[in-house]
Structure 1
C-alpha cells in the first residue's frame, strides 16, 4: 500500500492505494480529470429507472447538436439499467428481472439496451457517444448485489464468493438491490476491482455511486477510489445522495470528484430556497477537481416516467429558473440537466448556452456568499484572468404565513416516533378552511403528510371533507391527492390504511369553501409510510385556519444594495449584465439594482483602471 499526497485548496492530503504487483508507480491526480465542474445530462428526472437506449441516444444527439460547443459533454444513464421490467413512479422490487454476469456484476438489460446483446455491455453505447465527442456515465448502487450473494456467485480472480464479502448492515432502506461490501474481508476490494475493470472495458468516463454519501460509507468510498485507479481508466467519481457530512469534507475531496450536498432536488421553490444556506456552507470546500454538488437541474420537460409527479414542464417560474442557474453557476456546482433535452423550448436552451454565465461557472475563483440580509442574498466571485468581480443578487422573499399560534386548530409536532395525532378546530361561522402542513425543520425533505378521515360536523351530522373539491392546493413537491398519499399509494400511517383523506407534502396549503351550518373540523393527521422508506426522519406540524393565513405579499421587486468597497472596488466601476450582455454604465460607491421576487441578477464589475476594456460577450 502507498500513501499518495497532493494539495487541495492549500491543504496537504493523502489517500492510500495498492500499487500494482511488481511495478512501482504513483497514482494519477484524479482531480485533473474534472478540473472544471462537469456538465451533462442525466436520465433520472425525466425517465426514473426506465430509460431506454433510444432515449439516451436522442438526448445525446441533442447535446451533440446544441450543447457540445458550450462545454456540455456527459451523458449519464441513471438507476437500475440492469432491470428489464422496472416501473415508473416506484421501483419494481416484487419480481425484478435482473441482468447479472457470472461474477456477480450487473449488466445492461438487453430489452432496454439492445446493443448490449451477446455480452457487449455498455461498450456499443459508449462508442456511439465517444464518436460524437461526448462522455459516457452510469449510476450504480454501493455494494454487492443481493442476488449475487444469494447465488454465491464467485468474485473474479479470487476463491471467494459474494456471500463471503457482504453484510446486511447499512443496506439502503429505499431500494434493496445491494448489500454492504465489508472492507478488509478477502475478496472485498477485489469485487470492486472487478466491477471497475468491467466498466473500463465498456469505456466508462463517469460513475455516480448512490447510497454512499448519507450516511457516509467511508470504507467503500476508499475501495471505490482504489478500484478506479486500478482500472487504468479516467473515470470521474460522483457520490450521492446528500447531504454529505461536512465533517467528512476533507475525506470526500481526497477520494471523489463531486459529492452531493442535498437529497434529491426537484422543481420546488422551497427546496431551491434551502440551497442558499447549503451552498454558503459548502463554498469554502470548492476546489479544482473536487466539487460540492447541489444536484441536478430539474428544468425543461420532467417526469415523463419519473418518480415525482406527472409528465410536465418544470414548475419553476422563469425568475426561479434564473435563480437556479445563477446560484449553481456562481457556486460552481456540476451542471447535470435533468429534463428531456429534445423537448426543450427556446427559453430552456437559452439558460444552457449563455457563454458569459458558463465562463463564470467554468473559470471563476473565490466563489462565496457576500451577505444574506434575511432573504436578500449576494454572492461574489473573481475572474482570475481579468481581475473583474462577479456579483449575483437574489431576492428570495416569500409571502409570510401567520404564526402557528394564530391557527384555529393545530397538532403537536408529528414525527416518525409519534407519527399520528388528531387536530380539531372551531369553524363556527367560517366560510373558508385552510389546511396547512409545515416542515418543522429537522433537515429531512421527505415529509409525506396525510390528513386522515377529515370531517365537518355540527353535532347532529357529519360531512367527509374529502368529498368536497378544494379551491386550491400546493405541496412541497408533487401535488396534493384526494384519498391517496403524495406518492400515489394508499394513505398509510402507523400501520393503518385509511380510505378517505388527503395526501400532501410539507410545506403545503389546501383551501376549501365551507358549506354553511358546520361548527367543527376534525381530522387525524400523520406521516405517511411512503416517506419512511427514504429515512427515519420527518417532523411536521398540521394547522387549520379559518381566515387567510397569508400575510400581504412583499413587493414584486426590491433594491438589493451592495457597497462597492465590500467587493474591493472603488467608485466608478463599470457594470455589465451577464445574462443579457448589456453594459449598464458606471456606479459610484453603492450599486443597488432592483431584483424581482424569487429572481436573480448577475453582473460583472470592472475596476475603473481597466474600465476602458470592452466587456466580454
Structure 2
C-alpha cells in the first residue's frame, strides 16, 4: 500500500479527522495537530532514573529556556516513579516503596522530592514554573491501576466501582510491579483513566509518556487512554513506550497516539545505534504529522548520574557516532528527547542540539526514506517542500566484523526464556591457548533485554584450578552497561533460572571479554545463562554465547570510505549545488556523481539545490 493510500485508510479507521496523507498538517480539531512537528525536549530518565528531584528538573528547565528554547526545544518530562519517596538509583525499590497516592487511587508526587507538591497541589506548581518560561511540562506513568489501590479497594472518582473491580493480574509488567492491567469494559475502567487525565489536566500537564503499553501492545488500554485525554479538556501529547511497537499495529497506534516507540530502551551503545538503520527503514513509511515513530531518547551529554546504567559519565558515543545519531534521528523525523543532564553540557553537545539547518530539516522535510543500503554504507533522503531541494544523509556503519560461530571453540546456540533453566553448561578444551575471548551475541530479538551471565567460570589443568573471576581481563565491552564481576550487568545478584550464583560475570550483548591466559590451563568450564533481569521482561531476551581462543575480530576497515550516490539516484541534474548542513559549508556545483568520504561510524548531511530535477 502506498503512503497516501495507507493514511487514507487510517482516516477511515479513525472515523474522524485523522491526517489525510503523510506529513500534511492535521485539522485543528484533531489531536495530531498538538504535535504537528516532532516533539523536542528533555527527559530525566537517562541521568536520574527514578530518583529525579524538583531542583534537578528546574535546573534542566532553566538551561533549556536559556539555551535551547529558541531552537524549538520545549518539553521537560519527569520520568518514572515520581510518586515514590524512597526509590533507589540504578534500579527500583520494590521492597518497601513509599507510595504517594490520593483517595481515588491515583499516584501523586512524593513531597520529599517535589516540595512544591505539598498541600495537595500535585505537579501544578512545577508545571506553572515551566509555563512561565514558555516551556511545556510532561510526566511518565505506568499503564494500569496501582496494585496498592487494588489491595485497599480504593474508590474510583466518577464511579461506584473500586480499583479492585477493574483490574487483572494478566499482562502485569515483569520488570516493575507497581500496576495491574485495567480491564476494558468493566464498570469503572474508563472512569479510572478519565479521572487520571482530569487530574493531569488540572495540574497543567502537556505531555504524558505511558510505559508498558507498546510491547506487548495493549490496544484496549491505548483506546481508554485516548478517550480519557480527549475528555480531559486539555491538549496532552501522548507518547507510548517502550518498543518495538508491533508494526502490525501501526495504523491503530497512529490513530490514538502522537508518538510511539520503535525500540526498547536505547543507550549509548554503537550496537544499538547501528540496529536503528533497520528499525528506521522499517518505520519510515509510517511517518505522519502528529503521529511519529519514536526512535527513543538521545543518550548524549552527561548520563548515568543516578540512572539504571550505573556509572556517572559523558556519553560513550564517539563524536562520529554522535553525528550519526543526530543525523539519523533528524532525517527520520523522530521526536528528539535529550537524556543527559543539560547543565553539564559541553559546547560540542550544545552545538548538536542547536544547528538551525539540521533542525529545520527535522521540522519541515517530507518523503523521509532510506535511499539505499549497500552492506554497511547507508543513504537516506528527504525533500524540502518549500524549495524543492533534496536532503541527503550518508552513513558509514562499517565495523570490525566478528568471526562466524563455526570458528568458535564452543558455541551455546540460542539461550532464551524457554531454554531449560534458561542456561546451558559448557566444558571446553583450551589446550595450548594463550588468549581467551568470551563473546555474547544478540540472538535476534529486542537487544534491550539481553542480560547475560557467565556463571562459575573455572580454568583447570595440570592439577591447577582457578576461578576465571580472579583473573583480570585485558578488555571488556558490553552493549548495555558494563561487564561486572560477581554481579549482573544491572548491578543485582547473578540470578538465572531462579538460582542465585555467587561467582560469575554479568554482561550484556553484544559483548566481548578478552583475557591473556596464564600458562598451563587446558579446560574452561562454565554455565551460561539469561539473567533474571532479561528473563523477567515481557518479551524476554535471546542470546548466544561463544568462546574463542583466537582473535575473533576480522581486520578493521578503513577509517574513511567514499559513499557514492549517482545524480539519477538523487533526482537532480548536473550543476546542482551542495551545502554541508552540519558545518554550513557550500561545496559548489555537482559535475558528476557525488562520492564524499565518510568516517567509520560517522555521517554527513547535505542540502542539494537544483532549479530543475533530472529525468528519472
TM class, shorter-length: over 0.9
> Counterpart in 1 of 2:321?
320
> Counterpart in 2 of 1:147?
148
Q: CA offset at residue 403 of structure 1?
A: 1.1
Greater mean alpha carbon deviation, residues 168-177 or residues 436-445: 436-445
Q: Which whole-Å CA distance do the structure 1 matches of 2:192 and 2:388 have between them? A: 49
> Counterpart in 2 of 1:45?
46
Q: Secondary structure at the match of 1:590?
A: coil
> Counterpart in 1 of 2:165?
164
> Counterpart in 2 of 1:615?
none
Q: Which whole-Å CA distance do the structure 1 matches of 2:83 and 2:239 have between them? A: 20
> Counterpart in 1 of 2:311?
310
Contact 1:412 1:421 in 2 (8 A): no
Contact 1:570 1:589 in 2 (8 A): no
> Counterpart in 2 of 1:13?
12
Report the CA distance shift for 1:431/1:8 in structure 2 as closer, same or farther (over 3 A). closer
| Structure 2 unaligned spans of 5+ | 17-26
Q: CA offset at residue 536 of structure 1?
A: 4.7
Contact 2:450 2:542 in 1 (8 A): yes
Report the CA distance shift for 1:444/1:271 in structure 2 as closer, same or farther (over 3 A). closer
Report the CA distance shift for 1:297/1:208 in structure 2 as closer, same or farther (over 3 A). same
Contact 2:264 2:446 in 1 (8 A): no
Structure 2 residue aligned with 1:525, among 528, 538, 550? 528
Q: 1:451 and 2:457 equivalent? A: no
> Counterpart in 2 of 1:548?
551
- 1:448-527 paired onto structure 2 within 5 Å: 448-527=451-530
> Counterpart in 2 of 1:250?
251
Q: CA offset at residue 158 of structure 1?
A: 1.6
What CA deviation, in whole Å up to 9, does each residue of 1:408-454 have, x standing for no partner? 22223222222211223322222211111111213443111111111
Report the CA distance shift for 1:50/1:434 in structure 2 as closer, same or farther (over 3 A). same
Q: Secondary structure at the match of 2:68?
A: helix
What CA deviation, in whole Å up to 9, does each residue of 1:355-410 have, x standing for no partner? 00000100000000000011110000000110000000000011011111111222
Q: Secondary structure at the match of 1:535?
A: coil
Q: Which whole-Å CA distance do the structure 1 matches of 2:510 and 2:258 have between them? A: 33
Structure 1 residue aligned with 2:598, among 588, 595, 599? 595
TM-score normalized by structure 1? 0.95
Q: Secondary structure at the match of 2:322?
A: helix
What CA deviation, in whole Å up to 9, does each residue of 1:151-201 have, x standing for no partner? 111111221111111111111111111111111111111111111111111
Q: CA offset at residue 132 of structure 1?
A: 0.2
Greater mean alpha carbon deviation, residues 361-370 or residues 477-486: 477-486
Report the CA distance shift for 1:8/1:362 in structure 2 as closer, same or farther (over 3 A). farther
What CA deviation, in whole Å up to 9, does each residue of 1:507-566 have, x standing for no partner? 111111111111222222111112222235322222111111111000011110101111
Structure 2 residue aligned with 1:437, among 419, 440, 443? 440
Structure 1 residue aligned with 2:581, among 553, 578, 583? 578
Q: Secondary structure at the match of 1:413?
A: strand
Q: CA offset at residue 589 of structure 1?
A: 3.2
Contact 2:215 2:539 in 1 (8 A): no
Q: 1:108 and 2:112 equivalent? A: no
Report the CA distance shift for 1:428/1:493 in structure 2 as closer, same or farther (over 3 A). same
> Counterpart in 2 of 1:67?
68
> Counterpart in 2 of 1:420?
423
Contact 2:572 2:612 in 1 (8 A): no
> Counterpart in 2 of 1:568?
571
- 1:207-226 paired onto structure 2 within 5 Å: 207-226=208-227
> Counterpart in 1 of 2:174?
173
| Structure 1 unaligned spans of 5+ | 1-5, 18-25, 611-617
What CA deviation, in whole Å up to 9, does each residue of 1:112-157 have, x standing for no partner? 0000010101000000000000000000111111111111111112
- 1:353-372 paired onto structure 2 within 5 Å: 353-372=354-373
> Counterpart in 1 of 2:404?
403
Greater mean alpha carbon deviation, residues 588-597 or residues 530-539: 530-539
Q: Which whole-Å CA distance do the structure 2 matches of 1:102 and 1:425 have between them? A: 60
> Counterpart in 2 of 1:123?
124
What CA deviation, in whole Å up to 9, does each residue of 1:455-487 have, x standing for no partner? 111152211111111111001111111111111
Q: Secondary structure at the match of 1:562?
A: coil
Contact 2:302 2:315 in 1 (8 A): yes
Q: CA offset at residue 93 of structure 1?
A: 0.9
Q: Which whole-Å CA distance do the structure 2 matches of 1:72 and 1:368 have between them? A: 24
> Counterpart in 2 of 1:205?
206
Contact 1:75 1:137 in 2 (8 A): yes
Q: Secondary structure at the match of 2:413?
A: coil
Q: Secondary structure at the match of 1:591?
A: coil
Q: Secondary structure at the match of 2:41?
A: strand
> Counterpart in 2 of 1:20?
none
Q: CA offset at residue 579 of structure 1?
A: 0.3
- C-alpha root-mean-square deviation of aligned residues, in Å? 1.7
Contact 2:47 2:340 in 1 (8 A): yes
Q: How many residues align?
A: 598
Contact 1:8 1:287 in 2 (8 A): no
Greater mean alpha carbon deviation, residues 70-79 or residues 183-192: 183-192
Q: Which whole-Å CA distance do the structure 1 matches of 2:55 and 2:75 have between them? A: 17
Q: Which whole-Å CA distance do the structure 2 matches of 1:95 and 1:292 have between them? A: 37
> Counterpart in 2 of 1:296?
297
